[in-house]
Amino acid sequence: MSTPAPRPPLPPFTRETAILKVRAAEDAWNRKDPAKVALAYSPESRWRNRAEFFSGREAIEAFLIRKWTRELDYRLIKELWAYTDNRIAVRFAYEWRDDSGQWFRSYGNENWAFDEWGYMCERHASINDRPMAESERLFHWESPGVRPAEHPGLGDLGL
């Protein structure tokens, strides 16, 4: 097996490099390209997302296709919670609507572990959905597309 190309920033993380890793993940997910997003994970990456357990890039890509087919107008904000050498914890919120037009804000936490090349090898996500009126939306930018630099983060929004 060949050596993978490094995916910076690499562990061990500092506060600054952990923040960069979190924002890179947020931007990738907001672009909603399942094949590209899956490349940030190691080939054998293990996931728990809500009550689903799976591993590998093909399973990650299939999961993301299902997710973004169901969760329309998806917009995500992630925030660093904690970090150590090769682990990062984030909290996040995302807004989306279903095909009936009902809007939701989903809140959650993720625990990530990275290999020495900077690929995520474990992802554990706990998520809760709250129905909301469209007038309660707080995330306003083009979708798909990254959150603009001037758009408030979770703390600024009181979330």
- Per DSSP bridges, beta strands 41-49 and 120-132 are parallel
Structural tokens at position 131 = 């129905």
**Is 143 domain-assigned?**
no
Residues in CB range of 147: below 8 A, 6 or more apart: 26, 27, 30, 75, 76, 77, 139, 141
**Per-residue pLDDT at 2 exceeds 90:** no
The Cα 41–Cα 52 span in angstroms is 17
| Residues 6 or more apart in contact with residue 65 via CB below 8 angstroms | 34
Residue 142: inside a domain? no
- What percent of the chain is modeled with pLDDT above 70? 99
Q: Is residue 123 part of a domain?
A: yes
Q: Considering only CA atoms, which of 120, 96, 121, 123 is closest in space to residue 107?
A: 96
9 in a structural domain: no
List, for residues 41-92, the tens digit of each pLDDT value. 999 999 999 999 999 999 999 999 999 999 999 999 999 999 999 999 999 9
Flag whether 145 is in a domain: no
- Residue 57 in any domain: the answer is yes
Can you give the pLDDT at residue 3?
Answer: 81
- What CATH number did the domain enclosing 113 receive? 3.10.450.50
Please state, rounded to an integer, the average pLDDT across all residues of the chain: 97
Q: How many domains, in total, are found in the chain?
A: 1
Domain assignment of residue 41, given as a range:
15-136
Query: Is 23 within the bounds of a domain?
Result: yes
